[in-house]
Amino acid sequence: MKKEDLRIVYMGTPDFAVESLRCLVEGGYNVVGVITMPDKPAGRGHKIQFSPVKQYALEQNLPLLQPEKLKDEAFVQALRAWKADLQIVVAFRMLPEVVWNMPRLGTFNLHASLLPQYRGAAPINWAVINGDTETGITTFFLKHEIDTGEVIQQVRVPIADTDNVEIVHDKLMTLGGRLVVETVDAILDGSVKPISQDEMAVVGELRPAPKIFKDTCRVNWDQPVKRIYDFIRGLSPYPAAWSEWTNPAGETVAVKIFESEKVMEAHRLAPGTILTDGKNYLKVAAADGFVNILSLQLPGKKRLMTKELLRGYHLAEGTVFINNL
């Protein structure tokens, strides 16, 4: 079968999923339909916001479905009417069997980790938070348990010590588009030899990648400097690590932290103690040194470099970050 004759249904929602869809469309593959999340209100004005995948699908005049429930009979019938040979899922939702088992060639997923490591909703964040020096992308066939299907292909990607989650995300997004196309080609020419994840060699323990919530992002200063540094870059720029500082007057302010530096310096200060000259630097005591904060954001304000913030904001002597114990 030629790629022009292979009927593909694509499922995805965020920016990460647009690149793979774009590669398929621009590569001349026959995308007969796109499925994305329902529109939702966003921002202060609660304006209806289209998902990035919907925006791209509309620009390309691709047929589109936005089901509230994936088991809804009307949706299942509409999906069946597209007569897909293959379904591709990138950053979408957990599919019921009636959906993933529908096409004759199956349904494969692009996941932003080297499965079986980091099964779950936030694999890129957790790889950086945990200080990994390597991650990757995986295509695999869907089955009942989430992120456990047979692996088709993988690509490994180094993580530099200075990379934040945005940098790693963009690397994986670009490579993911290519891998999706390569996986479709391999399925088309019959060269696919899927491997069970149970048979794959794994170095160290398997780590999960659960969804990240606000409380997940709170900094615990009573940790080694490297651990806090990785935590900050693993959540930057979104959703962003945060902490609260409190001054001697009892005023508490929540602060988002985007960039930092490791300062390996012995001290006897309590974790969360702030050292600053009020002009150029803001260092926070950790278990084995200091975390030098380079950029941060106060409530209702824009993100600023530390030097910019200190020019217009007086940090009272004795202000400390409240530790998250």
Binding site as annotated, residues for (6S)-5,6,7,8-tetrahydrofolate: 113-116
**Tokens representing residue 146 in the block:** 């989430």
CB 285 within 8 A of CB 267: yes
Distance CA 284, CA 212 (A): 24
Q: How far apart are CA 68 and CA 82, in angstroms?
A: 19
Question: Are the C-beta atoms of residues 51 and 65 closer than 8 Å to each other?
Answer: no
Binding residues: 113-116
Helix ranges restricted to H, 204-259: 225-233
Rg (CA), the chain: 23
Q: Which ranges in 64-121 belong to alpha helices (H)?
A: 73-81, 97-100
Instruction: Report which secondary-structure segment, H or E, holds 255.
Output: strand 252-263
**CA 27 – CA 150 distance, rounded (Å):** 26
Select from 243, 265, 262, 268 the least CA-distant residue to 254: 243
What single letter denotes the amino acid at residue 311? R
Joined tokens for residue 47: 């304006």
